[in-house]
Each structure stands twice: as structure tokens, then as C-alpha cells.
Amino acid sequence: MRKLWIALTFLTRIPLPQPTNVTSEEFTLSQHYYPLVGLIVGGVLWASLTLLLPFYPPLITAALVLILELILTGGIHLDGFMDSMDGLLSARPPERMLEIMKDSHVGAFGALGAIAYLLLKFTLLVELCSLGSASALFLVLFMPIIARWIFLIGVYFFPYAREKGLGKGFHESSRNTKWVFFGQGLLLLLLTYYFLHWSGIAGFVLATLGILFFTCKVSRLLGGLTGDLYGASIELSELFFLLGAFPFIT
């Protein structure tokens, strides 16, 4: 339970007391609980949709759920996405891109990227709310779970771009636990098919391939990944999952 507690306080802003004396080993092993953190976030979002839809139209419900997700995560993944867009879209040399991404200030590319991302995600949520079927709402439950597994592709299989940083130790100490990653992926794939059938499989495949392409391209450009890019991968995974699943939802 302590490792789940560490994972929850790291990936969310759920008001829990901060664990003390966390070792590097505990922090690394807590990543095995990231999909479970996604289940908690997804469960809150799914329950909110179920409760709100009888009283509010899809536009308002989708807006409230999107805001709720930002509150639950504290926007930390979106912050990483914005920092990543500032660097990647700057058309500067790789070294300068990394410097821009490290800057805590949000630039024009980060702001525009966030607007485009949130607009598309909001639109997808509105359409899912409009469908109102159990399968459509289950997509919102599975979206955070799968995203918090898929982003670990970058942690396990791609180098870290900086000499220092939280993500570097996270990456290097994760090499011996790949079997857990593959086992969780197989379990998630089976559960996704059981609850969502082919729409879930389509979302799972598009999200996986999309993050593989993103991480490959960025790692080749920058010589590795960073913590900001891990956050961007979570956000993109959620979007790719919804985009892949939506055409097949019943």
C-alpha cells in the first residue's frame, strides 16, 4: 500500500499526506501502481459522468469532467505537454529545445498546443456524453488507466536526454522490471477487450502506436526523453485512445 500511496501523491493532487523517507527503490517500484492510479482517476471521472448526465446537457457535463481531471492531476501532465510543445515546435537545435523545455514559463507554442489539445479532447468527451451508452462512458474509465501504462514505454525503452533529473534515475532503475510492464499490458489488453470490445482494442492499438512513434521521433531528435515528455506522453495517450476507440463505439 505504501507504494500505491507514493504513486498517488506523485501523479495526482488528491489531498493525501506526503509519504516520508521515500527511497529511490520505493519510488521506482511505485511505477507498477501507475495503472491503478489511473483506475482511481478514471473511476472518479466515470462516476461523475454517470451522476451528472441526468441533470446536465453533454456540453456542460464534458466541461465539468475535463476540469475535474485537471483538478485531480493538478495539471502536471498538461504542464509537461506544454513545455514539450514549446521546445519541440521552436525549430531550434536540439540543445536549445531542451533548454526551452526546462524553462517553467509557458510560451506561445505551449499555449497553442494546450488549446488545440483541450479543444479536441473536450469535443470527444461531448460526443461520448451525447451517445450516453455504457460503452461510451467506459471509455472515460479506461482512458487514464491505459495512458498511465503506455507512457512507461518511454521510461523502459528510450534513453534519458539529460545528465540529471528525477526522470533519469526513474529511467535507469526501471530496467530490471520490464516483465511487470509486459504483464500489465497483456492484462489491460484483455480487460479492454472484455469491457469495450473492438472499440477498446482500436483505442489501445492507436494509443500504443502513437506513443511509440512520438517517443521514437523525439528520442532520435533530442538524444532521449525528459520528464516533460513523459507527461506529454500521458496526455497524448489519452487523446489517441479516445480517437482510436470513438469510430467503433456502440
* pLDDT string in tens for the chain (250-residue length): 888 989 999 999 998 888 888 887 788 888 899 999 999 999 999 999 999 999 999 999 999 999 999 999 999 999 999 999 999 999 899 999 999 998 888 889 999 999 999 999 999 999 999 998 888 999 999 999 999 999 999 998 998 887 665 555 555 556 667 788 899 999 999 999 999 999 999 999 999 999 999 999 999 999 999 999 999 999 999 999 999 999 999 7
Say how many residues make up the chain.
250
Instruction: Name the grid cell of 104.
Output: 517553467
Give dist(CA 195, CA 59) in Å, integer.
Answer: 25
Give dist(CA 171, CA 194) in Å, integer.
Answer: 32
Instruction: Name the grid cell of 125.
Output: 468527451
The whole-model pTM stands at 0.93
Query: What is the Cα gyration radius of the chain?
Result: 18
Q: Where are the domains of the chain?
A: 36-248
| pLDDT value at residue 150 | 96
> At 67, phi and psi to the nearest 5?
-65, -40
Give dist(CA 207, CA 213) in Å, integer.
Answer: 10
Instruction: Name the grid cell of 241.
Output: 485512445
Tell me, rounded to whole angstroms, the distance of Cα 189 from its chain centroid.
17
| pLDDT value at residue 170 | 58
| pLDDT value at residue 141 | 96
